[in-house]
């Protein structure tokens, strides 16, 4: 009996050690549903897209956050609360509002970012519902800023 209990505890401990490598707990599990498209990119992938000038980077933080912390070069600010309305705008209104061309639904280079990757994932889900196929920079501005150190 004691041996079986010891083996059970070993399995429980192993589960706690292995689980963080399987799941990224920064993202609420309610967002991750079976069969959904979810594409996260890391810092290396973001830099590769920037180097190729093949990126439409949208930062969903509030403007005050960008002023206080900084921004990733080339990012356009569309706060999370405005994302759905922005992507429902016609192209002309979008350009007048954000000073960039409105992404097309067929574009494969739309990338959302925020502070740490959580709000940008929400933005991804919002625009996916509108027919877009965006990417999420999972490290966010914190990941970008830390690589600069």
Looking at the domain assignment, is residue 142 inside a domain?
yes
User: 0.85 exceeded by the pTM?
Assistant: no
Highest mean pLDDT: which of 4-8, 37-41, 65-69?
65-69
Looking at the domain assignment, is residue 109 inside a domain?
yes
Residues spanned by the domain of 114: 30-148
Looking at the domain assignment, is residue 12 inside a domain?
no
Looking at the domain assignment, is residue 24 inside a domain?
no
Q: What's the alpha-carbon Rg for the chain, to the nearest Å?
A: 19
Looking at the domain assignment, is residue 89 inside a domain?
yes
Which of 114, 116, 139 has its CA nearest to residue 126?
Answer: 114
Burial grade of 87 (CB within 10 A; 0-12, 13-18, 19 or more): buried
Looking at the domain assignment, is residue 13 inside a domain?
no
Residues designated as active site: 114
**CATH code for the domain of 112:** 3.40.250.10
Looking at the domain assignment, is residue 104 inside a domain?
yes
Looking at the domain assignment, is residue 8 inside a domain?
no
Q: What are 111's strand-pairing partners? A: 57, 135
Whether residue 22 contacts residue 87, with contact meaning beta carbons closer than 8 Å, is answered with no
- Region 102-115: mean pLDDT is 96
Number of domains in the chain: 1
In eight-state DSSP terms, residue 94 is: H
Strand order in the sheet with 56-59: 40-41, 135-137, 110-113, 56-59, 76-77
pLDDT in tens, 19-62: 554 444 444 444 445 455 568 999 999 999 999 999 999 999 99
């Amino acid at each position: 009996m004691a041996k079986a209990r010891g083996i059970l505890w070993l399995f429980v401990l192993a589960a706690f050690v292995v689980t963080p490598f399987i799941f990224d707990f920064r993202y609420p599990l309610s967002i991750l549903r079976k069969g959904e498209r979810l594409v996260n990119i890391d810092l290396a992938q973001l830099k590769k897209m920037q180097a190729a000038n093949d990126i439409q980077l949208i930062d969903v933080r509030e403007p005050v956050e960008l002023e206080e912390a900084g921004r990733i070069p080339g990012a356009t600010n569309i706060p999370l609360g405005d994302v759905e309305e922005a992507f429902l705008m016609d192209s002309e209104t979008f350009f007048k509002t954000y000073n960039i061309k409105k992404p097309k639904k067929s574009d494969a280079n739309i990338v959302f970012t925020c502070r740490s990757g959580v709000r940008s994932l929400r933005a991804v889900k919002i625009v996916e519902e509108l027919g877009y196929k965006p990417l999420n920079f999972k490290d966010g501005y914190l990941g970008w800023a830390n690589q600069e150190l």
